[in-house]
């Protein structure tokens, strides 16, 4: 990558982006980041294995029950709260509520019965892991494309969780439940790149708070590299569009009114010419201000620049491939996935208070795509 490209990326995802030939991690002290445990951590520690009471605030009136709980107790995912509601562990004003979509009223008393952390029941599997960093609290891995993060319908084995259980054994945090031990964030199956997993319950709570905050007030940073169709008119920008479940296709997300707030910052790093010499694709750096399902894929498609190889959100752009040179067509056809890579991850260490920063190179399939696109020539 040229110095000019690195300089462009620096304002999107600090520090400046580099596509290197090895994965590396850096650590630096964070002055003033240590201190007493937050009220949120104390709340959850007290909550485990017993009931706690929440009172719905005026500004939360009309919100879904699972959404309110996910906001109030961010250490657990919304899907985990949904499971607890369905299991009858949530009551409002004395009545058990089993509908995650129940709309709450201001002043209502919510009792949450959170069971102790579950024992991990998923079988360990000897799946190779690219471990970037590991200590007693956490493990950072460079996930390959094609690896599902946790067991679910259709993927009960062969997941990252199966591999982590084999690698970490009983040290893996059980706060996320039997199927998601240690998981505090996810990457799509066909997205490659950096992920952090908690090995202790304390680390799980601390990391979950950071991801819930999305880096607004803390050190969390997530940077992605995306190869997209077309070239945006501006060199950089932000997409501020709410994302919710697609109204007709339930396994897709969509920009829609009433969805959850979602903000993606982007900046063009490289522009690629097609076989006719006209710009046909771009390499874009993205930084997330929120963390919605399929956020980058949905947002970039919404502004007319879907990811190369994205059959779900970029199906209407298949004919664009005819504008590529033959070697670029071959690289795209061989890709077999969306061209998205999580290259940068910055977190605060959950017990040491230091800032950890990790970067990952583009994997071989995306390097081949980049080289084939660039061989036709880059556009100014």
By annotation, the residues acting in catalysis are 188
User: What is the gyration radius of the CA atoms in the chain, in angstroms?
Assistant: 22
CA neighbor of 271 nearest in space, from 372, 374, 364, 368: 374
Omega within 30 of 0 (cis) for the link into 298: no
Could you give the CA distance from residue 173 to residue 205 in angstroms, rounded to a whole number? 10
Could you give the CA distance from residue 341 to residue 357 in angstroms, rounded to a whole number? 16
Residue-wise DSSP of 50-104: EEEEEE--GGGTT-BHHHHHHHHTTTS-HHHHHHHHHTT-EEETTEE---TTPBP
Residue 156 CB neighbour total at 10 angstroms: 13
CA neighbor of 283 nearest in space, from 26, 22, 12: 12
Question: What number of residues does the chain have?
Answer: 380
User: Any alpha helices (H) in the chain, and if so which ranges?
Assistant: 3-10, 39-47, 65-72, 78-86, 160-168, 201-213, 295-302, 326-335, 364-375
Could you give the CA distance from residue 234 to residue 189 in angstroms, rounded to a whole number? 31
Cβ contacts of residue 100 below 8 Å, gap of 6+?
64, 65, 66, 81, 82, 85, 86
- 340-348 and 221-229 beta bridge pairing: antiparallel
Helix (H) or strand (E) holding 357: strand 355-359
On whether the CB atoms of residues 339 and 370 are closer than 8 A, the answer is no
């Amino acid at each position: 990558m040229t110095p000019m490209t690195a300089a462009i990326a620096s304002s999107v995802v600090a520090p400046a982006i580099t596509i290197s030939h090895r994965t590396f991690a850096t650590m630096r002290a964070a002055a003033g980041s240590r201190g007493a445990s937050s009220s949120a951590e104390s709340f959850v520690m007290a909550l485990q294995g017993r009931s706690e009471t929440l009172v719905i605030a005026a500004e939360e009136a009309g919100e879904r029950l699972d959404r309110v709980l996910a906001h109030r107790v961010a250490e657990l995912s919304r899907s985990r709260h949904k499971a607890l509601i369905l299991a009858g562990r949530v009551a409002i004003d004395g009545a058990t509520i089993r509908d995650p979509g129940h709309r709450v009223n201001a002043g209502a008393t919510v009792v949450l019965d959170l069971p102790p952390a579950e024992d991990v029941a998923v079988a360990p599997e000897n799946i190779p892991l690219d471990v970037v960093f590991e200590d007693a609290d956490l493990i950072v891995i460079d996930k390959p494309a094609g690896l599902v993060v946790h067991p679910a319908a259709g993927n009960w084995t062969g997941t990252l969780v199966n591999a982590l259980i084999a690698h970490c054994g009983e040290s893996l945090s059980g706060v996320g439940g039997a199927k998601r031990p240690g998981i505090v964030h996810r990457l799509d199956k066909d997205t490659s790149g950096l992920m952090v997993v908690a090995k202790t319950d304390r680390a799980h709570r601390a990391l979950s708070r950071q991801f819930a905050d999305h880096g607004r007030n803390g050190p969390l940073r997530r940077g992605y590299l995306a190869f997209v169709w077309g070239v945006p008119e501006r060199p950089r920008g932000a997409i501020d569009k709410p994302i919710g479940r697609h109204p007709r296709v339930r396994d897709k997300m969509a920009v829609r009114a009433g969805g959850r707030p979602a903000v993606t910052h982007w900046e063009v790093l490289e522009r690629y010419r097609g076989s006719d010499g006209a710009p046909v694709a771009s390499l874009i750096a993205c930084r997330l201000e929120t963390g919605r399902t399929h956020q980058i894929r949905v947002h970039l498609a919404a502004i007319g620049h879907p990811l190369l190889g994205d059959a779900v959100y970029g199906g209407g752009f298949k004919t664009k491939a005819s504008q590529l040179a033959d070697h670029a067509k071959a690289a795209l056809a061989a890709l077999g996935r969306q061209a998205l890579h999580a290259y940068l991850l910055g977190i605060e260490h959950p017990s040491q208070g230091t800032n950890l920063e990790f970067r990952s190179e583009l994997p071989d399939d995306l390097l081949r795509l980049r080289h084939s696109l660039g061989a036709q020539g880059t556009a100014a």
